[in-house]
Homo-oligomer: A and B are copies of this chain.
Amino acid sequence: MNNESRKNLGVILKQQRLRMPLTLRELTNLSTVSSSHLGRIERGERFPSASILRKIAKPLGFEEGELFTLAGYLSAQPPGMAESSPVYSSRQLEPYVARVLAEEPVEVQRAVLGLLSILKSIAGNIAKGKSQ
């Protein structure tokens, strides 16, 4: 991350903070990011990590993705069509399965994948005679 882009982002963040308007300390309270760090970010001495960006996005009135793009973490987003269907591969997910899973919280959806991979690995071991 070069020095110029640090400064650029810093300037943007500072302008936005002043527009609210907020002091560094107030922004600290809203974001749980230390004011010393915020100050350094604003004058380009530090570059905010993703988690810091996430914490300050809303208090400054940014969309998360917007800030990530400004920081160069995300490539410029084609607005609107954000998540254009990511080709559901060659095979198909059965609509019924999709519908039922969609009712579950995302953690559960992911946990299901975990289960599946565990089962596959066990099955693989059995097949190789290694037993469990």
* Contact A91 B83, beta carbon cutoff 8 Å: no
* Contact A93 B116, beta carbon cutoff 8 Å: no
* Contact B82 A54, beta carbon cutoff 8 Å: no
Q: From residue A110, how far is it (CB to closest CB) to chain B in Å?
A: 6
> How many copies of this protein are present in the complex?
2
Is A109 positioned at the interface, with any CB of B under 8 Å from its CB? yes
* Contact B80 A11, beta carbon cutoff 8 Å: no
What residue of chain B has the Cβ atom nearest to residue A113's Cβ? B100
**Chain B residues with Cβ under 8 A from A1's Cβ?**
51
**Chain B residues with Cβ under 8 A from A66's Cβ?**
83, 86
Q: Interface size bucket, A side?
A: 35 or more
* Contact B73 A97, beta carbon cutoff 8 Å: no
**Chain B residues with Cβ under 8 A from A51's Cβ?**
1, 73
Within 8 Å by CB of A99, from B11, B65, B89, lies B89
Q: From residue A90, how far is it (CB to closest CB) to chain B in Å?
A: 8
Is A21 positioned at the interface, with any CB of B under 8 Å from its CB? no
Task: State A25–B95 Cα separation when bound (angstroms).
Answer: 37
**Chain B residues with Cβ under 8 A from A92's Cβ?**
102, 106
Indicate with 1 or 0, residue by residue over A38-67, a CB within 8 angstroms of chain B CB atoms: 000000000001110010000000011110
Is A34 positioned at the interface, with any CB of B under 8 Å from its CB? no
Within 8 Å by CB of A64, from B11, B75, B96, lies B75
